[in-house]
Amino acid sequence: MLLMLRRLTFATVLLATPVMAQETVPDTATLRQFAQERLRDAVLLYDRAFRVPETGQYLDAIRLDRDPQGGLSSTAATGMGLVALAIGDVTGVIPDAAEKAEITLAHLLGEHAPAFAVDRSSSGWYRHWFDPYTGAIPSWNKDKFSTIDTAILGAGAAILGNHLREKAAASGLPVPRAAELASALVMSTDWTTAVRNPDRGSIHLVFYGPEERPTDNVATIPFDEYALLPCMAARYEGMLGAPGPATRAWQTRFDMPADLPMHTVGEYTLLGKKGGSIPSHFTHQFAFHLCGTYARDPAFLDEMRELKEADRTWFINQRAPRHIWGLGAGSEPILETDEMKAAQRYGVARLQKNPYGTASPAVMAGFLAVDEADGSNDILADLHTLWARGECRYDHKGVGFLWRCSPYSPKTPVTRVEAIDFSTWMLGLATVHPELGLAFFQRNAF
């Protein structure tokens, strides 16, 4: 019997699962209140669980089944932590957000060395992972500096800093030190060095060693989350008053969605990679929320609209319940046997590949700006249904949230939450908050 359980396949579960009917949709006021409560809790999860108070760094992932946490910080997680502080400041959820951000940024900029010191390359790139208390790097990652993780950190710093400056200007108060440190962090990286070939639009994924040795086979071309790098590099050149290769790469390869690679998948035309694949949908959502040019572009919103429908349709075609979908990344629920449920498995789902059929409510939420623009409550209704049924639902440190699950066993939990993959839950919910909205990202993103 155990052997048979271990051989239980995704297809077997799929065929045995009936499609569940959608429940009555709550009124708009109820859905909006639900969204505000879930955004509050998302911000608090970053603050209570991911943040290390001593240095202000954020853990790469947390365990839901144990405390204390331990583990490494990541620059990308800390970038999203800075966004959480900005949102927490606007909404009043974190009244000391500026002070907390100052701790985070001062440590990253070396003001607490040698007690806390993080390695940076000659152009200012950060490592992906480091010890949250000392900044020390793990021995297995000693050579690599990550462009995308540094970019997400920089994007988070830009959003926080711009928000704090805007708030200070509106109130007539001095600009807080956290805003000055945020600007210093953003400008301390030479973003143009990420552009490998401006004519092809190729981007370095990593550099090796402080001297930034590139490799022949570690680069990417449009379109994926690395689109954030030319977005920031072009903006950086503009701030320096010296448009150059990065601006050319951005203007010829990235800034017009119609010029990016498009692929037909069923009835949809979707933004993807030149080779024909459609990346996991969090990649589009990162670009949309963290690059101000994309956030302000109605054409990119149109692409998000079509991608949302393709995502829903994929799960419907797999006979999943209509309210559970989202092609994202993170810990995979283990369904085969009780013996295996303690195992940890990480997956990245996309239209062409989702072997375990896992759904990501964080990606569902990442499309909320589309419904907000269309005057629809469809996604909020789906999320509310999950919450009401206790499906994909988690509670940790006094806050509740929706996270990864199987549509075919939606109460089977995972035990890890990855900060960067969870972030689209927070970003999307912010776009329907009355004090934030998509305008928050349109104004403040780099």
What's the pLDDT score for residue 20?
43
The answer on pLDDT for 19 being more than 60 is no
DSSP H stretches of helix in 215-330: 228-240, 245-253, 282-290, 292-295, 298-317
Hey, what are 266's tokens? 């069923």
What's the pLDDT score for residue 24?
79
For 154-205, the pLDDT digits (tens) are: 999 999 999 999 999 999 999 999 999 999 999 999 999 999 999 999 999 9
- How far apart are alpha carbons 351 and 143 in whole angstroms? 33
Are residues 291 and 225 in contact, defined by beta-carbon separation less than 8 angstroms?
no
- How far apart are alpha carbons 11 and 258 in whole angstroms? 37
| CA angle centred on 420, ends 415 and 421, rounded to 5° | 60
The answer to whether position 278 is within a domain reads: no
70 or 95: whose pLDDT is higher?
95
C-alpha 259 chain-centroid distance: 24
- How far apart are alpha carbons 14 and 16 in whole angstroms? 5
Phi, psi of 358 (to 5 degrees): -70, 140
What's the pLDDT score for residue 321?
96
The answer to which of 45-49, 122-126, 137-141, 172-176 has the lowest mean pLDDT is 137-141
C-alpha 325 chain-centroid distance: 17
What's the pLDDT score for residue 336?
61
pLDDT band at 21 (very low <50, low <70, confident <90, very high): very low
| Alpha-carbon distances of 323 from 264, 334, 348, rounded to whole Å | 25, 21, 20
Comparing CA positions, the residue from 236, 237, 219, 231 lying closest to residue 260 is 231
Give strand ranges (E) for 397-443.
399-402, 416-418
Residue 97, amino acid: A
The answer on pLDDT for 5 being more than 60 is no
Question: DSSP letters along 166-229, please?
Answer: HHHHHHTPPPPHHHHHHHHHHHTS-GGGGEEETTTTEEESEEETTTTB--SS-EE-SSSGGGHH
What helix, strand, coil percent values describe the chain, rounded to 5?
50, 15, 40
335, 336, 338, 341 alpha-carbon torsion, rounded to 10°: -50
The answer to whether position 148 is within a domain reads: no
What's the pLDDT score for residue 13?
36
144 or 276: whose pLDDT is higher?
144
The answer on pLDDT for 81 being more than 70 is yes
What element of type H or E holds 163? helix 147-171
Mean per-residue pLDDT for 15-30? 64
Q: 74: which strand partners?
A: 129
The answer to whether position 397 is within a domain reads: yes
What element of type H or E holds 123? none
Work out the end-to-end distance of the chain between its first and last CA atoms, rounded to an integer number of angstroms: 56
What's the pLDDT score for residue 340?
46
- How far apart are alpha carbons 381 and 30 in whole angstroms? 10
For 310-320, the pLDDT digits (tens) are: 999 999 999 99
161 or 67: whose pLDDT is higher?
161
The answer to whether position 409 is within a domain reads: yes
What's the pLDDT score for residue 420?
98
Hey, what are 407's tokens? 């549509």
C-alpha 336 chain-centroid distance: 29
The number of beta carbons lying within 10 Å of the beta carbon of residue 415 is: 17
What's the pLDDT score for residue 1?
26
What element of type H or E holds 72? none
What's the pLDDT score for residue 25?
79
Comparing CA positions, the residue from 151, 148, 145, 126 lying closest to residue 236 is 151
Average pLDDT over the chain, rounded to whole? 91
pTM for the whole structure: 0.93
| Alpha-carbon distances of 342 from 63, 336, 413, rounded to whole Å | 12, 11, 10
DSSP code, position 359: B
The answer to whether position 307 is within a domain reads: yes
The answer on pLDDT for 6 being more than 80 is no
141 or 374: whose pLDDT is higher?
374
Hey, what are 253's tokens? 């390869």
Residue 79, amino acid: G
Are residues 198 and 216 in contact, defined by beta-carbon separation less than 8 angstroms?
no
What interhelical angle do 419-430 and 282-290 show, nearest 10? Answer: 60
Mean per-residue pLDDT for 211-234? 91
Domain that holds residue 428: 20-50+293-446
- How far apart are alpha carbons 306 and 265 in whole angstroms? 11
Phi, psi of 365 (to 5 degrees): -65, -30
Q: How many domains does the chain have?
A: 1
The answer to whether position 283 is within a domain reads: no
pLDDT above 90 covers a percentage of the chain that reads 84
The answer to whether position 173 is within a domain reads: no
- How far apart are alpha carbons 203 and 288 in whole angstroms? 18
For 428-438, the pLDDT digits (tens) are: 999 999 999 99
For 86-119, the pLDDT digits (tens) are: 999 999 999 999 999 999 999 999 999 999 999 9
| CA angle centred on 215, ends 239 and 127, rounded to 5° | 60
The answer to whether position 358 is within a domain reads: yes
For 318-330, the pLDDT digits (tens) are: 999 999 999 999 9
